[in-house]
Amino acid sequence: MLAVQFAEYGGPDVLALREIDVAQPTPHEVLIDVHAASLNPIDWKIRAGLLRAVIPLTLPATVGRDGAGIVSAIGSGVDPALLNTRICFFAPRGVGTWAQQIVLPSSCVAPLPDTVSMQDGAALPLAGLSAWIALVETAHITPGMRVLIHAGAGGVGSFAIQIARARGAHVITTCSARNRDFVTGLGANEVIAYDQAPFESQLRDIDVVFDLLGGDVHKRSYAVLKRGGTMVCLVAAPFEDRSAEFGVKVMVAQIVPKKESLVALVELAASGALRVPVEEQLPLADFKTAHEQSQTGHMRGKLIMLMPDRTAP
Ligand SMILES: NC(=O)c1ccc[n+]([C@@H]2O[C@H](COP(=O)([O-])OP(=O)(O)OC[C@H]3O[C@@H](n4cnc5c(N)ncnc54)[C@H](OP(=O)(O)O)[C@@H]3O)[C@@H](O)[C@H]2O)c1
């Protein structure tokens, strides 16, 4: 079967479509026929070797962390009801998903109702859980809170806007001016175009800042939080923690595969309360283009890779 792999760290040119063997599931694993996988910035960061200290890999390694497909074989300890089921999945660190078949622990998959397409199911897990774990399980947002979501037009941000609104928050988001209508369509109450005005000149008394950018944006975000507010961060890069000086709390959300949270997200999507923002779909053979696009840092919503020889049921 085919998989997108890299045998050394480097630019997009180290990627190749390779023929590899299919593993068989052990007692608590499932074999999945993958229909679609999603693109996340972590995919190119891992490929470039930027995360090799935190995510050590045996090379060659397969790209990707999430996707959707059908369970085609199960280990002896897995619920037989999972066999032949449509599912989405969030793979553990070190397991790549841009492949026609993969083996995963059954705890990493969530059933997909017929109303959720394979493409939408593939887009949900990593980006959706990143927004959910950060806002709901880490910052514990509540109705009426003023929540600032940086990078609202990206994969994580576009889920975060909707999740925060569904929880009753007043949502302010930053993006470039070209994405203003996109984030408004997702439900943002206020939009600040970062290429037109600095956000800190317009905001005060924010309860929660969701920092998806780090660096300079992280530094400038302390000033907009109210005392007792929370900054919840996703970026792995180190930052200067100024929480004591500003009387706020800084938390780093730990994004790991969590079955019950993934099931909750899928239910939200199936109910129509969460729109999955798939903006682009590419055949798997366009793996290099996909990585180049992600590296620009200006993706809108989610990009999905479609596996060859699969007709979406
Ligand atoms: N630690 C973890 O476990 C974890 C999990 C998920 C994501 N992350 C990280 O979180 C970040 C975002 O992920 P993602 O999937 O949402 O990325 P993405 O889909 O590539 O989106 C990036 C977004 O950033 C926006 N952006 C760029 N510069 C900006 C600025 N100065 N102000 C406001 N928005 C700006 C872009 O909007 P414009 O086009 O409008 O500029 C774009 O929509 C990435 O660095 C990713 O690696 C970490």
Summarize pLDDT for 139-149 with one digit per residue, the tens. 999 999 999 99
Indicate whether 79 pLDDT > 60: yes
* 48 token code pair: 């470039």
Q: How does residue 309 score in pLDDT terms, banded at 50, 70 and 90?
A: confident
Q: Which atom of ligand 1 is nearest to the CA of 214?
A: 45
Gap between the Cα atoms of 253 and 132, Å rounded: 10
The 10s digit of each residue's pLDDT in 263-272 is: 999 999 999 9
Which of 40, 256, 304 most suits a substitution to test ligand 1, by most atoms within 8 Å of the C-beta? 40
pLDDT attached to residue 271: 95
Handedness of CA 149, 155, 158, 160 (dihedral sign): negative
Gap between the Cα atoms of 299 and 297, Å rounded: 6
CATH of domain 127-252: 3.40.50.720
For the chain, what are the domain ranges? Answer: 2-124+276-306, 127-252
Which residues sit with their C-beta closer than 6 Å to ligand 1? 40-42, 127, 130, 150-151, 153-157, 174-176, 179, 194, 212-213, 217, 234-236, 255, 294, 297-300
Homologous superfamily, domain 2-124+276-306: Medium-chain alcohol dehydrogenases, catalytic domain (3.90.180.10)
